Structure 1
Amino acid sequence: MTARIEISGLTKQYGTNVVVDELDLEIEAGEFLVLLGPSGCGKTTTLRCLAGLETPEKGSITFDGEPMFDASGRVNVPPNKRSIGMVFQSYALWPNMTVRKNIAYPLKARKMKDALSGGRVEQAADMVDCGHLLDRYPSQLSGGQQQRIAVARGMAARPDLVLFDEPLSNLDALLRDQVRTEIHRLHTELGFGAVFVTHDHSEAFALGDRLAIMKHGKIEQLATPQDVFDNPASEYVADFIGMSNRLELHRTGLEWTTAAGTELPLRCDMGDLPAVSARLWPDDITLHRADEDVSSREVVLDATLLSAEFGGRYYDVQVGAGPEQYRLRASSAVHGDWLRRAQPGEPVVISFRSESLKVYPLEQAASLV
């Protein structure tokens, strides 16, 4: 049920717009690879090329060495002849078919008579805890149930590769978490190969064995979720995965100053660059009352409270320090009493450890366009 996938020099364009740009990528058998990036970066088009739903202009795709597409050799295996399962964002269930017939559809299309008579449909439904729904129609199911059925259908034929095209985007927050957990459980138990497209970095971190972060049809970084989190390869990656705080720093002698001229006692290695862009996670910044003592080991900035949004166990806080703005999370247990009463414009203090900064050359300023 798994195959090693190799993509080489894949290029897809619409008119003069190059959407996938000479992409090289290897997906190991049984690997769960996540294509992550903003709209327009080429991730869904790459998925559709794997499925055979788009025809690239250049490059090749092989499954265990067998060509599925080869522009130079004029090979283009149609979608129904590729050993893939597909789970769409919109569920794409046949409304006039029962759940049983929807799951059985790929088995019938591939003329897998033994699988049909051997209980494969029931097994697939049981995998996603929907065996009791087999005789219902899609209109009688909730969104979460419909997406579970779509997952069962995508896996019923036990394909070499299961393709997920933003399958959680149409679900509410609770169902999204439930179905995500279900997909993770199934992959852990069954070990199928998968390519999962999303723009949500929390989904990517939770599901992926490796993440391929895409930008303008190319891969900006390919690594494990832990590696991407700990060491974003560029400011583009850092910004996209949620490292939303940005400091523009300029060297002045042996010190560094912000764009507003605030001198910072930084202890991290900046190399020989005269100016850098530094990124911080919201969780790396600590909020203090203006009259609190702050450890001398931390970088301290006087700031002004801009907003504080209640989130249960925490507040999402935005502050301003000169022309820069910072986002952070403050514990409700620690700061809730005064943040509930605090008004925009009140003086506050923020602090962070200089070692938390991820530093990039200033010319690499992130762009999600």
Structure 2
Amino acid sequence: MTSKFRVSGLTKSYGTNVVVDQLDLEIEEGEFLVLLGPSGCGKTTTLRCLAGLETPQDGTITFKDRMVFDGQSHVNVPAHKRNIGMVFQSYALWPHMTVRKNIQYPLKVRNMKQDIDRGAVEAAAEMVDCAKLLDRYPSQLSGGQQQRVAVARGLVAHPDLVLFDEPLSNLDARLRDQVRSQIHQLHQKLGFTAVFVTHDQSEAFALGDRLAIMKSGKIEQYDAPEHVFENPVSEYVAAFIGMGNRLELRRGHDGWMTSAGDSIDLQRATVRGLADKGTAAVARFRPDDLMLHRSMNEVPAGNVALHAELVTYEYGGRHFDVTVKTGTEELTLRANAQEHSVALRESKPGAPMVVSFSPSALRVFAADTADADAARQLAAVPAEAAA
């Protein structure tokens, strides 16, 4: 694939607040790019700059070798001339128009009458399982149906670029999974180029060919989902993609120790940016990397065992979501209900526990106060999303 969509040095500020900071992106034709990050990181503003709905102060945006924005030469192609499709979080369907007319709208404003006559509207509705809804109004549709209509409207004119602004966030969990799967299938079938904004890492991993994880208006990591999942470049990225467990480490005369005084050998861990003489580090790992044991005798050979105490547990059917405390830190894990139900239900907060993990599960970073503060501000990661 050749790079067809380029963003270079993009900067957008509101007063003194820099929201997008000298951002660079390259999007391949046919690629599904996901902008991932917490609220306020600049992902939606970046999307709106691509759409022409926001005017940056500086930088360039190129679509298929066509300059649509250049801050230096004052080029700024308006949104309706950028040949984009847009799918909004709020559906944004015209309430006085039928489904047919909503889907038809992008064709009409582009004077694509032949496509209308050839059945493009009906074909787009069929793609998203809405062919039977063409004569209904948005108020007669469920949230999932409205969003599928919005997707059909975004694709019907075969735009150069389809932009998705958190389109699944207003749907309940079941519908969210259904519409997400449908978008994925449509991309596989049609091969359109897309930029998708979300704060949900499970959506990002499921949909993205590449992920651009954003922090403070910049891209912290830009890579394939598998590489981001296995090799986060910073503690911030690790925390955001589900490595919710955090251990502060100190180097002593006998090696690395946790805050509780347990020894950890980092030879099998993945280490980034840790100087040979550094004395402080932080280790990140996922809840499903942590195991609960009834005694030290159950700890697998080679695992790091930690003495802990129970904080709380929540029943989840076939599992318990368990929180324990070791030293000054709280860790979460998922325990098999059949194996641990009796012991957990008989335990009260403060009861002694044994947990362990393989050192190979750790991603270790040099201690960075700013990075740690940003990581702590991220929303708690649900165990199912981290798995």
Note whether the superposition's TM-score is higher than 0.5. Answer: yes
**Pairwise CA distance, 1:314:** 1.8
**Pairwise CA distance, 1:297:** 1.1
1:274 aligns with 2:266: no
Counterpart of 2:88, as a letter, is F
Structure 1 residues 216-264: Cα deviation after superposition (integer angstroms, max 9, x where no partner):
1100000000000000010000011110111111111132112233333
1:367 aligns with 2:371: no
Which residues in structure 2 correspond to 1:60-75 (within 5 Å)? Answer: 60-75=60-75
Whether the 8 Å contact between 1:239 and 1:366 is mirrored in structure 2 is no
Whether the 8 Å contact between 2:296 and 2:305 is mirrored in structure 1 is no
Instruction: Evaluate the alpha carbon distance shift between residue 263 and residue 90 of structure 1 in structure 2; reply closer, same or farther with a 3 A threshold.
Output: same
What secondary structure sits across from 1:365 in the alignment? helix
Q: Which residue of 2 aligns with 1:182?
A: 182
What secondary structure sits across from 1:367 in the alignment? helix
Q: Which residue of 1 aligns with 2:76?
A: 76
Counterpart of 2:372, as a letter, is A
Which residues in structure 2 correspond to 1:231-246 (within 5 Å)? Answer: 231-246=231-246
1:216 aligns with 2:221: no
Q: Which residue of 2 aligns with 1:196?
A: 196
Whether the 8 Å contact between 1:32 and 1:208 is mirrored in structure 2 is yes
Q: Which residue of 2 aligns with 1:283?
A: 288
1:48 aligns with 2:54: no
Whether the 8 Å contact between 2:264 and 2:359 is mirrored in structure 1 is no
Instruction: Evaluate the alpha carbon distance shift between residue 165 and residue 251 of structure 1 in structure 2; reply closer, same or farther with a 3 A threshold.
Output: same
Counterpart of 1:232, as a letter, is P
Looking at structure 2, the residues matched to 347 and 254 of structure 1 have their Cα atoms a distance apart, in angstroms, of: 26
**Pairwise CA distance, 1:313:** 2.3
Q: Which residue of 1 aligns with 2:382?
A: none
Looking at structure 2, the residues matched to 340 and 130 of structure 1 have their Cα atoms a distance apart, in angstroms, of: 48
What secondary structure sits across from 2:374 in the alignment? coil
Which residues in structure 2 correspond to 1:64-213 (within 5 Å)? Answer: 64-213=64-213
Which ranges of structure 2 fall in alignment gaps of 5 or more residues?
Answer: 378-387
Looking at structure 1, the residues matched to 52 and 247 of structure 2 have their Cα atoms a distance apart, in angstroms, of: 44
TM norm structure 1:
0.96
1:357 aligns with 2:376: no
Looking at structure 2, the residues matched to 366 and 228 of structure 1 have their Cα atoms a distance apart, in angstroms, of: 21
Q: Which residue of 2 aligns with 1:17?
A: 17
Whether the 8 Å contact between 1:266 and 1:299 is mirrored in structure 2 is no
TM norm structure 2:
0.92
1:330 aligns with 2:326: no
Q: Quote the RMSD (CA, aligned, Å).
A: 1.5
Looking at structure 1, the residues matched to 266 and 4 of structure 2 have their Cα atoms a distance apart, in angstroms, of: 46
Counterpart of 2:95, as a letter, is P
Which ranges of structure 1 fall in alignment gaps of 5 or more residues?
Answer: none
Stretch moving more, 287-296 or 27-36: 287-296
Structure 1 residues 107-158: Cα deviation after superposition (integer angstroms, max 9, x where no partner):
1111111111110100100000110000001111110000000000000111
Stretch moving more, 266-275 or 114-123: 266-275
Counterpart of 2:173, as a letter, is A
Counterpart of 2:262, as a letter, is T
Stretch moving more, 300-309 or 166-175: 300-309
Looking at structure 1, the residues matched to 348 and 104 of structure 2 have their Cα atoms a distance apart, in angstroms, of: 59
Q: Which residue of 2 aligns with 1:293?
A: 298
Whether the 8 Å contact between 1:87 and 1:151 is mirrored in structure 2 is yes
**Pairwise CA distance, 1:366:** 4.9
Instruction: Evaluate the alpha carbon distance shift between residue 23 and residue 265 of structure 1 in structure 2; reply closer, same or farther with a 3 A threshold.
Output: closer
What secondary structure sits across from 1:205 in the alignment? helix
Instruction: Evaluate the alpha carbon distance shift between residue 103 and residue 351 of structure 1 in structure 2; reply closer, same or farther with a 3 A threshold.
Output: same
Looking at structure 2, the residues matched to 81 and 215 of structure 1 have their Cα atoms a distance apart, in angstroms, of: 30
Looking at structure 1, the residues matched to 169 and 254 of structure 2 have their Cα atoms a distance apart, in angstroms, of: 48
Size of the aligned set, in residue pairs, is 368
**Pairwise CA distance, 1:3:** 8.0
What secondary structure sits across from 1:211 in the alignment? strand
**Pairwise CA distance, 1:291:** 6.3
Which residues in structure 2 correspond to 1:242-257 (within 5 Å)? Answer: 242-257=242-257
Looking at structure 1, the residues matched to 322 and 213 of structure 2 have their Cα atoms a distance apart, in angstroms, of: 28
Q: Which residue of 2 aligns with 1:59?
A: 59
Looking at structure 1, the residues matched to 261 and 358 of structure 2 have their Cα atoms a distance apart, in angstroms, of: 19
Whether the 8 Å contact between 2:307 and 2:326 is mirrored in structure 1 is yes
1:29 aligns with 2:38: no
Quote the sequence identity (%): 64
Which residues in structure 2 correspond to 1:307-346 (within 5 Å)? Answer: 307-346=312-351
